């Protein structure tokens, strides 16, 4: 190892060293080593600060340190003037201060001069261009003018931004910047944040995006300082039923009404009130349960009002289930009617024709209440005086009363249970929308299972009684000498939407007889199609709903009877049956 090695150490001279040894060490080691040394004056470069060791040296950061002479202290400089590229990750544990103003330096500035009334405009105001703007006071006898005025995000028209005022010349003209960096005299900007056109104060900005229905979300400026920013005139979006957020979001069964601040009839506009559309006046109103004309124009129930949606805005549900409905109906359970103030009540005591049908059904759901909105308007419902009994009338000549899938007898009230809560979204309602329907109690009601194979693949043409689909039976009570019968399973098309529940099959039945038809014994002779369930006492004393889909290939107006039969077995030589006629339906 020689003097060329950076770690070479020159040994001390001993007391016994000769003059020749000293001369040799000086020439070969000391002078040779010194000649290889370079003495540096510490020079700081861009981003690097160098301090040469002296007693009491001061770093750029301001702290004093003792650096031994001959040592050199190197630290990162507090300021870097040239650009730097980091190819790897950069982690900053402290506060990062970013100068947005320098980042946007050089953004093209585009301004135009606009003449006209400017008394109400100041530097930093957001303006729009308008036609036929009102002048106060009138200028040279004119009451309107075309020019700029303050913009506001409360409507589509008012939010059409032209630019930001960057200069005002008396009352004659203003300079409007339409692109580039602008000054906002009012200040209050948050550096680095996007600011929107305010829906509350005309001409001003806000960092809070508008969210209320009818307002416009219009991003305009990225703040580079507390009172300046770069203007970007982005396209605004007016918030509608599908563009709102949270409670302002509509669905397929709801819509919003704006500007509904007062009812012309003095009724209170609030959650839980029923709403009508008055076609004659072209306006929305709160319903009057004692007016048949009002009830016929029902559109829905208010579930959100101005207390959460903003002034004059309400959300109206026109069908389906409303959860957490206690604040709408309180503790009411069962069928609900409309009173004279538009509120829902559990009883109806009016005597006005056409106002007696329930418009909703409430049910207990855990610790809360659910509301099923499912009203039918213009169905001819009547209320008799005093008793409140419903009956139905038909406008068809020579027909029995009409009022739904099947027709109740005259003066028969529509039935609802007040002793049991309805079961919502049962088997027969799961695919057909939300309606007030219980579980389907008929086994194989959709005719999905045909284990006997009767009528499968081809029509079954035998006569007499027979089962076909499971639980379904044809009863032949005719004694005519000549009969032509047919039972056949048919496939629904996959795209059909008339029959709810997406069933696979339906029955095509054809029965004719000649030679003098003699009905079988009893009141239920002829051809009957039955679905049979166990127990003649099933659902005794309970309210039931019976519905089905049917179509005739014959002339419109064909009819059939609907009945409920309870068979108690055979007593002696006769069958003990109770038959309840439910009415006649017209195809």
Cα dihedral angle (182, 183, 188, 191), rounded to 10 degrees?
50
Whether cis (ω within 30° of 0) applies to the bond prior to 137 is yes
Question: Quick one: pLDDT band at residue 578, thresholds 50, 70, 90?
Answer: confident
Residue predicted with more confidence, 399 or 494 = 494
Q: Which of 86-95, 115-124, 159-168 has the lowest mean pLDDT?
A: 115-124
Give the pLDDT score at 286.
Answer: 95
The residue ranges of DSSP E strands in 232-367, in sequence order, are: 237-238, 254-257, 274-278, 283-286, 298-304, 314-317, 320-322, 334-338, 344-345, 360-365
| 276 strand-pairing partners | 285, 298
Q: What is the pLDDT of residues 310-340, one digit of tens each?
A: 778 888 888 878 888 888 988 888 888 898 8
**More confident of the two residues 565 and 428:** 565
Q: What is the pLDDT of residues 226-282, one digit of tens each?
A: 888 888 888 888 876 544 445 555 555 788 888 888 899 999 999 999 999 988 888
**Partners of 507 in the beta sheet?**
489
One DSSP character per residue, 504-515 reads SEEEEEEEEEES
Instruction: Give the number of other CB atoms < 10 A from CB of residue 15.
Output: 4
pLDDT surpassing 70 at residue 55: no
Does residue 537 or residue 343 have the better pLDDT?
343
Cβ-proximal residues to 339 (8 Å cutoff; 6+ apart), any chain: 289, 290, 345
User: 308, 314 in Cβ contact below 8 A?
Assistant: no
Residue 373 has pLDDT above 90, yes or no: no
Give the confidence band of 54 by pLDDT, cuts at 50, 70, 90.
low
* Rounded average pLDDT over 486-513: 89
Q: What is the pLDDT of residue 583?
A: 82
Q: CA–CA separation, 509 vs 498, rounded Å?
A: 19
């Amino acid at each position: 190892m020689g003097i060329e090695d950076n770690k070479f150490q020159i040994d001390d001279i001993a007391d016994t060293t000769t003059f020749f040894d000293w001369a040799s060490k000086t020439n070969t080691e000391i002078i040779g080593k010194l000649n290889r040394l370079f003495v540096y004056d510490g020079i700081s470069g861009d981003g690097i600060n160098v301090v040469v060791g002296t007693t009491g040296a001061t770093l750029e950061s301001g702290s004093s340190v003792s650096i031994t002479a001959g040592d050199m202290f190197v630290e990162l400089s507090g300021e870097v003037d040239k650009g730097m590229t980091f190819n790897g990750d950069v982690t900053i544990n402290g506060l990062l201060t970013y100068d947005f103003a320098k980042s946007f330096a050089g953004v093209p500035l585009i301004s135009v001069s606009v003449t006209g009334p400017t008394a109400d405009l100041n530097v930093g105001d957001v303006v729009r261009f308008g036609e036929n703007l009102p002048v106060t006071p009138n200028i040279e006898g004119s009451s309107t003018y075309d020019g700029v005025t303050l913009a506001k995000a409360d409507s589509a028209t008012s939010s059409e931004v032209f630019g930001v005022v960057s200069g005002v010349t008396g009352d004659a003209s203003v300079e409007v910047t339409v692109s580039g960096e602008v000054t906002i005299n009012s200040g209050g900007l948050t550096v680095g944040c996007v600011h929107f056109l305010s829906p509350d104060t005309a001409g001003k900005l806000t960092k809070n995006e508008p969210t209320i229905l009818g307002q416009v979300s219009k991003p305009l400026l990225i703040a580079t300082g507390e009172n300046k920013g770069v203007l970007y005139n982005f396209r605004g979006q007016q918030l509608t039923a599908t563009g709102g957020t949270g409670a302002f979001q509509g669905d397929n069964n709801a819509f919003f009404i704006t500007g509904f601040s007062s009812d012309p009839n003095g009724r209170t506009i609030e959650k839980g009130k029923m709403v009508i559309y008055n076609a004659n006046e072209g306006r929305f109103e709160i319903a009057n349960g004692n007016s048949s004309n009002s009830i016929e124009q029902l559109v829905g129930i208010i579930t959100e009002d101005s207390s959460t949606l903003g002034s004059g805005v309400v959300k109206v549900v026109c069908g389906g289930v409303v959860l957490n409905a206690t604040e709408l109906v309180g503790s009411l359970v069962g069928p609900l009617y409309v009173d004279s103030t538009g509120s829902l009540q559990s009883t109806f005591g009016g005597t006005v024709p056409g106002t007696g049908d329930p418009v909703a059904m409430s049910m207990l759901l855990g610790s809360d209440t659910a509301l099923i909105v499912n009203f039918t308007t213009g169905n001819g419902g009547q209320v008799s005086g005093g008793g409140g009994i419903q009956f139905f009338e038909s406008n068809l000549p020579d027909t029995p009363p009409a009022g739904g899938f099947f027709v109740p007898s005259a003066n028969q009230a529509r039935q609802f249970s007040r002793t049991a809560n309805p079961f919502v979204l049962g088997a027969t309602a799961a695919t057909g929308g939300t309606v007030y329907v219980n579980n389907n109690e008929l086994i194989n009601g959709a005719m999905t299972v045909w284990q006997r194979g009767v009528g499968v693949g081809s029509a079954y043409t035998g006569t007499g009684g027979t089962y076909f689909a499971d639980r379904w039976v044809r009863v032949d009570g005719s004694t005519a000498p000549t009969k032509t019968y047919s039972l056949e399973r048919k496939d629904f098309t996959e795209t059909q939407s008339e029959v709810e529940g997406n069933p696979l099959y339906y029955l095509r039945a054809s029965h004719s007889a000649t030679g003098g038809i003699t009905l079988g014994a009893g009141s239920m002779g002829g051809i009957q199609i039955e679905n049979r369930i166990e127990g003649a006492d099933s659902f005794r004393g309970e309210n039931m709903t019976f519905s089905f889909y049917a179509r005739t290939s014959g002339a419109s107006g064909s009819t059939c009877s609907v009945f409920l039969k309870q068979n108690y077995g055979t007593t002696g030589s006769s069958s003990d049956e109770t038959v309840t006629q439910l009415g006649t339906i017209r195809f």
